[in-house]
A = this chain, B = another copy of it.
């Protein structure tokens, strides 16, 4: 299978490496920045390009992993290819392809990627959607080559998944950052908190989070809540987050 990777960021990099590990042939990597294209193309043995017009029309799969607002432009440039074209965005409807005659689909990885950090692709849920059943079946085979966690998800539900991932990943990471900030201001090391962070995530791997909620808010431990707010009296923003989330915990349970 010959693949063209359009994009060179975190998502593109992890897909390119995963395809390579599964003996697919990466023939081109495009980035508007030629250096970025060259960097990823270098490790995967592909040709780096920075002009969309140079894209090889004979590939089997075109993987679009660029910023959401750049997707339409890329699709226009791919108008004449015969292979399958997929985007990887959580927030972009499959309708973005609707004016085209191509075999299109979506291959959305519900995972957080960093370029620096290796990731086991077996732990990447892949959400697929396609133009028609035939394209979907073909995309499913490709997805299963990369990960056992393949889900058929339409655009509406993919939007919901993306939203829930903002809560479970982006906002969660920000809470980690705030807790680190609280520690640092008091000469305490984030190291001491890392085992708790791990265990909190491990706990919900075979339980539902609402069933394992702990802490002062769910216990209605007003004395502790008052003490905590007192500690945050000079940090109105943190106090606001503390109050908003404590109120929400009490309301849910």
**Which residues of A are interface residues toward B (Cβ below 8 A)?**
68-69, 91, 110-112, 114, 117, 119, 123-125, 127, 149, 151, 153, 157, 159-183, 186-188, 190, 192-205, 207-210, 212-218, 221, 223-224, 227-228, 231-232, 237, 240-242, 244-245, 248-249, 251-252
**Shortest beta-carbon distance, A113 to chain B, in Å?**
8
**Shortest beta-carbon distance, A8 to chain B, in Å?**
17
Instruction: Given A111-B199, A199-B123, check contact A240 B249 (CB 8 Å).
Output: no
Closest to A212 in B: B114
Number of copies: 2
**Shortest beta-carbon distance, A108 to chain B, in Å?**
11
> Are B209 and A180 in touch, CB under 8 angstroms?
yes
> Are B160 and A186 in touch, CB under 8 angstroms?
yes
Interface of A is mostly: helix
Complexed CA–CA distance, A145 and B89 (Å): 50
Complexed CA–CA distance, A199 and B124 (Å): 10
**Shortest beta-carbon distance, A10 to chain B, in Å?**
8
> Are A173 and B69 in touch, CB under 8 angstroms?
no
> Are B164 and A193 in touch, CB under 8 angstroms?
yes
